[in-house]
Structure 1
């Protein structure tokens, strides 16, 4: 427990100190990764915390991003202190509506229904003037944190995103250790048994689904403010698949796994896109990224977060041997 807490504190401390040594490009890249980490945490609440595999998370992400642009005035900078809650509310309301219907299904049907709702939102902004069509919409004025200080400043945006990431992580850590979180864990392990003990599981799942959508909306808001531009691709199924890969890559069932997975996925993308390393092959970066993810999933069944434990088990197996009752291979 203390080791895990120390690891998380060390990571957040390193992110806080990064502006002292990093240049503008590195800060911009890490800001984007932190946005994806918040997005991954929103899905971890569903997949790892509740056992619900949602394939429409990009819909809530995109609604938060589009709300940030559509609610901003054309002239003058809006205050972040009303715009941010409004974006979270928009994403949460859509998640509430989607969850109220999709949670009446299970398994692969739940996955397909959430995907269908996300695609509906995608085509609304893609095929209507509301979202600017395929061209998207620009955010010309960045929100103000306080007079004279807006989120157009890269360093301010970095600090604000880091604060949101820390707040989201702490909130979910406390939530999952509360009575509500224990109920979600029970639903994940055996929902039928939870019902037999007197729990009405539907309200718990709906609350978790709505909260997950709100957190995804927070990530969408930060993404829109950072880039100053939104387009329909923010709601595409590709992004829903990417954030699910982040959670799996980091390790399902661990909040820190969502953080590790987001950073690993984004850094792998940058690595395989680098023309300095791969030359002309860099334009085929999807191939390299796909092979790397397949290798990680095959070799790390518990994700990157389980790598230290896997090493310890293998080391113990070699030192003590099979006669000591320690398996020499890690079970998948």
Structure 2
């Protein structure tokens, strides 16, 4: 294992250990906030597989997120808690099946046309739950009883929900890390770099892209399921294009091509959002929190084009440059004297 790989592994290990210890030092608000951010991190990882892994910019990721959320509510019985053993796989499967349908059609297009087709399919799903009784219309629907697993897991407790979400986040991260190092992951990397060359070497790229798209949708469905269970409520805004745009900003902010970037971007985006929304800090200006958040994101993209994940490397380079410059000046002064 190289020094670079060791530092990456150390960062991820410390990151997850810190998340595991966080509830013991925080109140209910902090636990709920970080639970939400971890769900966004899973959502960001799902899109990172597409954009960073295969070079496919999808603008309809919120549809899979929303389908997973709605399935969690629609399939739950009203009189008793559902079992996680079947409800969670059902929600993930529903999102994955819709992703399979969307991907099989949209992947026949490229570039901006692919982006627009995925957006169109997402808007279709949005209007199905917004304009029909199926999803409760614009008011949304409530989850009567949160699912569990007998006496082992009770997701009614915020702390239990926190650790269950953390376990899902770790599982998704490890799964994608292994997947992207496999032959499948290397094929996706080749497609991202030069799809025409991959075809010339004998790879049928369409099945690889479709598999990645379907898997990405299923993971987004998992995030939506967790979000619905945490809040006990779903509404059509969970499928809006605004959310697809937000998760795209997360992975760009964190750094494309890095799973760590998806984690960092999700936390940075959500925490910045909470910061600029704070009336205690910004007073009436908190109503215009989009302005402050937008300016910070623009500055981050301008000064860190490779994302926040590249910040340590830039700091080391500047520090090394400063030390080198200082040594050269000192040597010149010595020679002059």
User: What TM-score comes out, normalization by structure 2 length?
Assistant: 0.94
Aligned pairs for 1:5-20 within 5 A: 5-20=9-24
Gaps of 5+ in 2: 329-337
Question: What corresponds to 1:92 in structure 2?
Answer: 96
Q: Is residue 240 of structure 1 aligned with residue 232 of structure 2?
A: no
Q: Is residue 42 of structure 1 aligned with residue 46 of structure 2?
A: yes
Gaps of 5+ in 1: 325-332
Cα distance in 1 for partners of 2:152, 2:30 equals 25
Question: What corresponds to 2:299 in structure 1?
Answer: 295
Aligned pairs for 1:143-154 within 5 A: 143-147=147-151, 149-154=153-158
For residue 203 of structure 2, give the secondary structure of its aligned residue in structure 1: coil
In structure 2, do the counterparts of structure 1 residues 195 and 73 end up closer, same or farther at CA, with 3 Å as the change threshold? same
In structure 2, do the counterparts of structure 1 residues 169 and 149 end up closer, same or farther at CA, with 3 Å as the change threshold? closer
Question: What corresponds to 2:334 in structure 1?
Answer: none
Aligned pairs for 1:68-79 within 5 A: 68-79=72-83
Q: Is residue 30 of structure 1 aligned with residue 34 of structure 2?
A: yes
Cα distance in 2 for partners of 1:145, 1:255 equals 30
Question: What corresponds to 1:136 in structure 2?
Answer: 140
Displacement over 6 Å in runs of 4+: none
- How far residue 140 of structure 1 moved from its aligned partner, in angstroms, is 1.0
- How far residue 149 of structure 1 moved from its aligned partner, in angstroms, is 4.0
Give CA deviations for 1:199-226 in whole Å, capped at 9, x if unaligned: 0000000000000000000000000000
Of the candidates 187, 193, 196, which is equivalent to residue 189 of structure 1?
193
Q: Is residue 158 of structure 1 aligned with residue 162 of structure 2?
A: yes
The root-mean-square deviation of aligned C-alpha atoms, in Å, is 1.4
Of the candidates 61, 64, 82, which is equivalent to residue 60 of structure 1?
64
Q: Is residue 266 of structure 1 aligned with residue 270 of structure 2?
A: yes
For residue 196 of structure 2, give the secondary structure of its aligned residue in structure 1: helix
For residue 59 of structure 2, give the secondary structure of its aligned residue in structure 1: coil
For residue 49 of structure 1, give the secondary structure of its aligned residue in structure 2: helix
Cα distance in 2 for partners of 1:54, 1:263 equals 21
